[in-house]
């Protein structure tokens, strides 16, 4: 088994080595005061997350408001900071731990609620990576994280999410083909560094223009999410790959 870290930061650095994948990765940096302000000024909104957590835990958003204040959103709760000094004091508590800061992607939405995608990429021993299933996770009302338990969101098929979103005028076939291509390339890029991994749950997203983004890669994804889809054959297919 590899001793290489499975943190979000390490996986991001490995994915960045692929010139082909860079355009699908949100700009990401180790959380420092300078990196935070550079990215917030550049994008207007950023996400801060622990590099070792899963399930949406610890994920917060900062954004600049029109009146030059700064809004923090943690779950469904919001807090206003009135100046940079207040923000820096807050960041000082975070930067003592392992956090990254990331460009906020303006996700496509269903009924005003952002959604992202879980794409399962798996391989059998001595075989190529395959996309074995995908679903859309729609955030609960008032949340920015799409984690189903945390936000009380819902699982729908990717096709359904596309039809109900800003992307409905685009070709669903082309969007899904691009999704699969980027997911497979991601697994191929990470695979050699984590040879023991046979299942990857790749969290991906479409923005409101239909561009594909890689959010993060999970090596122990919760397969039961797929039981929430009407088509149970997708779950059975994933489980058949997952058996030792």
What 8-state DSSP symbol labels residue 170?
S
At 183-193, the pLDDT tens digits run 999 999 999 99
Indicate whether 194 pLDDT > 90. yes
Instruction: Identify the pLDDT of residue 137.
Output: 92
Indicate whether 55 pLDDT > 80. no
- 3.40.50.1240, 3.40.50.720, 3.30.470.20, 3.40.50.300: which CATH number matches 107-242? 3.30.470.20
3-state secondary structure of 165: coil
CA 17 to CA 189: how far, in whole Å? 8
Task: Compute the mean pLDDT over every residue in the chain, rounded to the nearest whole number.
Answer: 88
For residues 19-45, give the mean pLDDT. Answer: 95
For residues 16-23, give the mean pLDDT. Answer: 97
Q: What is the CA angle 104-153-24, rounded to 5?
A: 30
CA 38 to CA 179: how far, in whole Å? 30
pTM over 0.85: yes
For residues 61-78, give the mean pLDDT. Answer: 85
CA 173 to CA 178: how far, in whole Å? 9
At 78-99, the pLDDT tens digits run 889 999 999 999 888 766 678 8
The domain locations on the chain are: 28-103, 107-242
CA 71 to CA 108: how far, in whole Å? 21
């Amino acid at each position: 088994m590899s001793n290489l870290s499975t943190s979000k930061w390490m996986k991001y650095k490995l994915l960045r080595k692929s010139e082909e994948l860079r355009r699908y990765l949100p700009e990401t940096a180790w959380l420092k005061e300078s990196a935070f302000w550079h990215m917030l000024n550049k994008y207007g909104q950023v996400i801060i997350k622990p590099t070792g957590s899963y399930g949406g835990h610890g994920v917060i958003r900062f954004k600049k408001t029109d009146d030059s204040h700064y809004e923090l959103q943690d779950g469904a709760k919001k807090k206003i900071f009135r100046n940079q000094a207040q923000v820096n004091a807050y960041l000082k508590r975070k930067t003592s731990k392992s956090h990254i800061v990331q460009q906020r992607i303006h996700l496509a939405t269903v009924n005003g609620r952002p959604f992202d995608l879980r794409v399962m990429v798996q391989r059998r021993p001595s075989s190529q990576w395959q996309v074995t299933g995908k679903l859309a996770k729609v955030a609960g009302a008032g949340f920015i994280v799409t984690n189903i338990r945390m936000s009380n969101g819902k699982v729908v098929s990717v096709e359904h999410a596309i039809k109900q979103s800003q992307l409905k005028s685009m070709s669903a076939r082309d969007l899904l083909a691009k999704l699969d291509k980027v997911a497979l390339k991601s697994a191929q890029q990470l695979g050699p560094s984590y040879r023991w991994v046979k299942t990857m749950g790749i969290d991906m997203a479409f923005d409101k223009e239909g561009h594909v983004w890689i959010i993060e890669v999970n090596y122990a994804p919760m397969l039961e999410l797929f039981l929430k889809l009407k088509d149970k054959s997708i779950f059975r297919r994933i489980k058949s790959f997952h058996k030792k």
